[in-house]
A = this chain, B = another copy of it.
Amino acid sequence: MQVTKFAIPEIIFGSNSLEYVVPCAIRNGAKKVLLISDPGIEKAGWVDNLLEFFESGKLNWVYYNSVDSNPRNYQIEEGANFYLQQRADLIVALGGGSPMDTAKGIALVASNGGKIDDYEGANQIQYPLPPMIFIPTTAGSGADISQFAIITNVERQVKMAIISRTLIPNISIIDPLFLQTKPKWLVIASAIDALAHAIEAYVSVLATPFTEIQSLKAIELIVNNLEEAIHSSTLHNLTNLCIASTAAGMAFSNASLGVDHAIAHSLGGKYDVMHGLMHPVLLPAVMRFNFPASRKKMAQIGEIVTKDKGHTEEETAFQGIRTLESFFKSLEIPLNLRNLIPDRSKLQEASQLATQDACILTNPRHVTWEDCLNICEEVW
């Protein structure tokens, strides 16, 4: 076993844990908070709710909501200027992966200068970031746990992966009550993003015992709770999805991902597709592609998914993949790439770009751009 690193934020988890935000901000030295959220969260009333906590805790705040579902580089630079002009000293993000990734980008550019593009790739950050407290309202992105930020460069039409331990927030406050107000499709897309995190991290070349137990726990919880969670929205099932997302975040943040996410980033950069919808399409094909390089682990995943064991690793693994496909089908979500992106013309270009994504480095099987193209064509 080579030297390996495992880092996660402090986690505060449970219904009504939102209440902890002010004491958490104060013990991280906050005098003036920059709150980052988006218009969707505002509409749901959660921004007002949070601001009431700030007000009653006598905490100064300013607010930034120029956040897209795939955050853009210019929004980061605008936000960083706003943070500096306002002399804020702590960042709170409230929302899904987009406000949280926006917050990471703003914290980074505000403290390290330059443009967000300067930090693309792994370990390019030199100076410490301002303290960050993240409050995820979906259970999937893992942005509240991870050292990843994904920002779209609109000029180059690519999603840049920025990876650094300093992008882990100080505290993640995870309150399952948010999920009760979310539409079903968002709960599904987020949960399957988390499932992809768990599976890709489990077979990653950087997986360790510390990440593997998180991956397996996440897979088990998503498979056993997602259906019930979307049909009856019970807090018990939704809480389990939040635990799964958190566990998957611990896994992929420390073991990284693979070719599914590399393709999802490159297609997502070109077509502005909602990230979580890419995985039900790509993941089964990627699992089949990766099987020869991680037979035993794919069989372990198959065993959890099917609660059964075949005669061979291959049988168990492929039965697992087929079960996942049926599961995705039952969720009534797009299962082919043609339903998500408008035309096939840029598949080759996107496949070539995917091989430059940082996530591809940890895929268990070596991947060429032709392999990426084959995967895209298979699921077209």
Query: Contact flags (1/0) for A106-132 with B, using CB distance below 8 Å?
Result: 000000000000000000000000000
Q: Which residue of B lies closest to A243 (CB)?
A: B209
Query: Contact flags (1/0) for A21-43 with B, using CB distance below 8 Å?
Result: 00000000000000000000000
Contact B5 A8 (CB under 8 A): no
Interface residues of A in 1-56 (CB under 8 A from B): 1-8, 10-17, 20
Contact B4 A14 (CB under 8 A): yes
Contact of A1 among B6, B8, B12, B14 (CB under 8 A): B14
Contact B213 A209 (CB under 8 A): no
Cβ of A241 to closest chain B Cβ, rounded Å: 12
Q: In the assembly, what is the distance between CA of A2 and CA of B209, in Å?
A: 28
- Indicate if A184 sits at the interface (CB-CB under 8 A): no
- Indicate if A297 sits at the interface (CB-CB under 8 A): no
- Indicate if A214 sits at the interface (CB-CB under 8 A): yes
- Indicate if A204 sits at the interface (CB-CB under 8 A): no
Q: In the assembly, what is the distance between CA of A12 and CA of B11, in Å?
A: 20
Cβ of A277 to closest chain B Cβ, rounded Å: 27
| Given contacts A10-B6, A10-B165, A1 and B239 within 8 Å (CB-CB) | yes
Contact B17 A13 (CB under 8 A): no
Interface residues of A in 179-234 (CB under 8 A from B): 208-210, 213-214, 217, 221
Q: Which residue of B lies closest to A29 (CB)?
A: B128
Residue of A2, A8, A165 ringed by the most chain B CB atoms within 10 A: A8
Contact of A5 among B1, B12, B210, B221 (CB under 8 A): B12
Query: Contact flags (1/0) for A217-259 with B, using CB distance below 8 Å?
Result: 1000100000000000000000100010011000000000000
Contact A13 B6 (CB under 8 A): yes
Q: Which residue of B lies closest to A168 (CB)?
A: B10
Q: In the assembly, what is the distance between CA of A76 and CA of B13, in Å?
A: 34
Residues of B within 8 A of A2 (CB): 14
Instruction: Please classify how large the interface on chain A is, using the bins under 10, 10 to 19, 20 to 34, 35 or more.
Output: 20 to 34
Residues of B within 8 A of A214 (CB): 213
Q: Which residue of B lies closest to A6 (CB)?
A: B11
Q: Which residue of B lies closest to A166 (CB)?
A: B27
Query: Contact flags (1/0) for A358-369 with B, using CB distance below 8 Å?
Result: 000000000000
Cβ of A209 to closest chain B Cβ, rounded Å: 5
Contact B243 A13 (CB under 8 A): no
Contact of A10 among B5, B209, B246 (CB under 8 A): B5
Contact A213 B213 (CB under 8 A): yes
Q: In the assembly, what is the distance between CA of A247 and CA of B213, in Å?
A: 10
Cβ of A248 to closest chain B Cβ, rounded Å: 13
Q: In the assembly, what is the distance between CA of A257 and CA of B214, in Å?
A: 22
Contact B210 A11 (CB under 8 A): yes
Residues of B within 8 A of A221 (CB): 209
Contact of A213 among B6, B10, B217, B239 (CB under 8 A): B217
On A, residues with C-beta under 8 Å from B are 1-8, 10-17, 20, 165, 208-210, 213-214, 217, 221, 239, 243, 246-247
The contact sample of 7 A-B pairs, CB cut-off 8 A, is A1-B239, A2-B14, A3-B17, A5-B10, A6-B10, A8-B8, A210-B247
Pick the 7 closest A-B CB pairs, nearest first: A3-B14, A7-B10, A6-B11, A3-B17, A213-B213, A209-B243, A213-B217
Beyond A4-B12, A10-B165, 8 additional contacts (C-beta under 8 Å) are A3-B14, A3-B17, A5-B13, A13-B208, A209-B243, A209-B247, A213-B214, A213-B247
